[in-house]
Chain A
Amino acid sequence: MSSVTETPGTGLPMSRINPKAIVRWTILFIGGVLMVTPLLYMFSTSLKTPGQIYDLRLIPSAPTLANYMEVLREGDFMRWFINSSIVAVVVTASNLFFDSLVGYTLAKFKFRGRRFVFIAILSTLMIPTEMLVIPWYLMSAQFGWLDTYWGIMFPGMTTAFGTFLMKQFFETVPDDFLEAARIDGMNEFTIWWKIAMPLVTPALSALAIFTFLGNWTAFFWPLIVTTSKELYTLPIGLTSFAVEQAIRWEMIMTGAALATIPTLVIFLVLQRFIVRGVMLAGLKG
């Protein structure tokens, strides 16, 4: 709105509205509508009775929470919700810890083969998941990891992307901070944990959001590795729901609506940490 200034008494001076701004705002508006509509329909459908679901009005004529009651009463849904939470939380914590530990080492220590290690890690980014699934499966079968939490989680416990992201951020941490801490007597692990990590909270928050969302919505691998209903994650559970229940859209939408709540919470909690420039405050003014 910066290009539009209001002059007292005249309202909006039309001549001051920049045509470029109109185009920009229009595109953003259309984009926003496109993104939000499916979400709104999801919530809207979850509030409808089975008879109303093909009535495409956004605001249901007689909104009801009956679907929510039913989904939550249905024993398996809570179970899947908990499974997804365990998987997403553990994998996210693991990535925050290990990706940043490796990223920090690659960014701040000089050792033989550092470039090689880095390139080797990066190159795994180029292998598509579909190619990895068979080896993962064979490995899980041999180790007896099929149909276990560990089986669902192990492929994502660290990621090349996370390592790369953290390395890039740690490179922006000035060496002076680390050297000052060394002189003050901290050991290398403490320096990483107490000094370097707090300086990259924006990156950690971003990585946490990506990893959590990725694992919360993961479908392909959990579908393959789990066989018993008690170990399904939400996306698998909701799909089985759809099939078993002869496609009850209002139930699926209710499940999906409940499934989006944690992702919204995570995003709202973490996004305020993604503030740039925290680091500069300790250096020259």
Chain B
Amino acid sequence: MATISLKNLTKTYGKVEVIHGIDLEIADGEFVVFVGPSGCGKSTTLRMVAGLEEVSGGEIRIGDRVVNELDPKQRNIAMVFQNYAIYPHMTVRENIAIGLYTQKLDKAEKARRVENAAEILGLTKFIDRRPAALSGGQRQRVAMGRAMVRDPAAFLFDEPLSNLDAQLRAQMRIEIKALHQRLGSTIAYVTHDQVEAMTMADRIVVMKDGHILQQGRPMEIYSNPVDVFTARFIGTPSMNVISSGQAGGEFGGDGGTPVLLGVRPQDLHVGPDAGEGHALSLSGPVTAVEPLGPETLVHFQLGDDTVIGTAPATEIPEVGSTVTAHAGRAHLHRFDAKTEKALERR
């Protein structure tokens, strides 16, 4: 296990710079998840750490070695790809054993390690099958097995779950997390699924356009986003962001300049005001309802925008009726109208 440290890391393709100087320290044994929209440079960053892309500028350290100029195999890292990339002409056993390719171990020890990894991942039954005879989830596990057997300095995952169906993804999230706890390994994990980020990460790194916007523990980012983009990216459904003008009331900045006001759907309760002195009240005609079981999402019109609030499962409003929704002051996020940066940290 080892630390990973990025210093002012840049990447240029031809004349285009796609990574603009990233600084990041990943601690030994830490599970760091990179999230961000498509094309923001997550994969590129990860591939530079792996040694699959040349570094254009800056420095990458794994442990106490600068690895900029090292081949992938000299970096002692393991990587799991979105497409699994397990070899179709080899059995599960052979695929996992490839992870030990460079290790000088005797045959028995290799076999023991391969079988051990297969056991942990529940692949023992399939160990002599070829990938064609495995399900998507099993193939992904084989790819993880190949990464695991070697006991690498760090694991790199590039969207490993995005080809699985929702149920399997939820299951694999838990398995990967359990595996992390069991092995205590350093993990850099790329996804554009914020649920994966929230549920698995020790630390989330939010990226956009080749920059890091914010990093921190999942709940820290959830409750304290630095700007509108991060606020809307983390959490489902996305945070409602409206202008303070639409909200009425006294939310403006210094001297009454308009600001953007954010409130998460979970904090915007549809229903009668219980007289608790809510800071924000919004009302409008209902455009859609989504009963989720324990609660119902209510979409309603506010000026030109649609706002989402939550109603209790028992009180589902009619589409077309007018509803009012309330939120307490503690749940409001204020952003600068021009820069979209958060105005206060809480």
Contact = CB atoms under 8 A, between A and B. Distances in A.
The secondary structure that dominates the A interface is helix
B52 A185 contact: no
Interface in A243-285: 278-285
B84 interface: yes
Interface of B: 50-52, 71-73, 77-79, 81-89, 98-99, 101-102, 130-132, 134-136, 139, 146, 163
A175 to B, nearest CB: 9
Contacts of A185: 72-73, 101-102
Contacts of A199: 87-89
A195 interface: yes
A88 to B, nearest CB: 27
A183 B79 contact: yes
B72 A282 contact: no
Interface residues of A, number: 22
B88 A281 contact: yes
Contact of A284 (B101, B102, B136, B146): B136
B78 A282 contact: no
A254 B51 CA distance: 62
A109 to B, nearest CB: 14
Contacts of B71: 182
B99 A179 contact: no
Given A184-B73, A184-B101, A280 B88 contact: yes
A47 to B, nearest CB: 44
Contacts of B85: 174, 176-177, 179-180, 282-283
A101 interface: no
A181 interface: yes
B101 A183 contact: no
B130 A281 contact: yes
Contacts of A283: 83-85
A198 interface: yes
A280 B77 CA distance: 26
A180 B143 CA distance: 10
Q: Which of B82, B83, B102, B131 has the most CB of A within 10 A?
A: B83
A279 B71 CA distance: 26
23 contacts: A176-B82, A176-B85, A179-B81, A179-B85, A180-B86, A182-B52, A183-B73, A183-B77, A183-B78, A184-B101, A186-B73, A198-B89, A199-B89, A279-B88, A281-B130, A282-B85, A282-B86, A282-B87, A284-B82, A284-B84, A284-B163, A285-B135, A285-B163
Contacts of B81: 176, 179-180
Nearest to A195: B87
The secondary structure that dominates the B interface is loop
A183 B46 CA distance: 13
Q: Which of B50, B87, B99, B101 has the most CB of A within 10 A?
A: B87
Contacts of A179: 50, 52, 72, 79, 81, 85
A82 to B, nearest CB: 34
The 4 closest A-B pairs by CB, nearest first: A185-B102, A281-B132, A282-B88, A285-B136
Contacts of A281: 88, 130-132
Contacts of A184: 73, 98-99, 101-102, 146
Q: Which of A181, A185, A279 has the most CB of B within 10 A?
A: A185
Nearest to B146: A184
Contacts of A284: 82-84, 136, 139, 163
Contacts of A282: 84-88, 131, 139
B4 to A, nearest CB: 15
Nearest to A190: B101
B88 A183 contact: no
A176 B89 contact: no
Contacts of A182: 51-52, 71-73
A142 B99 CA distance: 52
Given A284-B83, A284-B163, A181 B98 contact: yes
Given A179-B52, A179-B81, A282-B85, 13 more contacts: A179-B79, A182-B51, A183-B50, A183-B73, A183-B78, A183-B79, A184-B146, A199-B87, A281-B88, A282-B131, A283-B84, A284-B83, A284-B84
B163 A278 contact: no
Nearest to B95: A282
B150 to A, nearest CB: 8
A185 B85 CA distance: 15
Contacts of B131: 281-282
A186 B50 CA distance: 14
Nearest to A182: B72
A132 B234 CA distance: 68
B132 to A, nearest CB: 4
A218 to B, nearest CB: 33
A185 B87 CA distance: 15
Contacts of A280: 88
Contacts of A278: 88-89
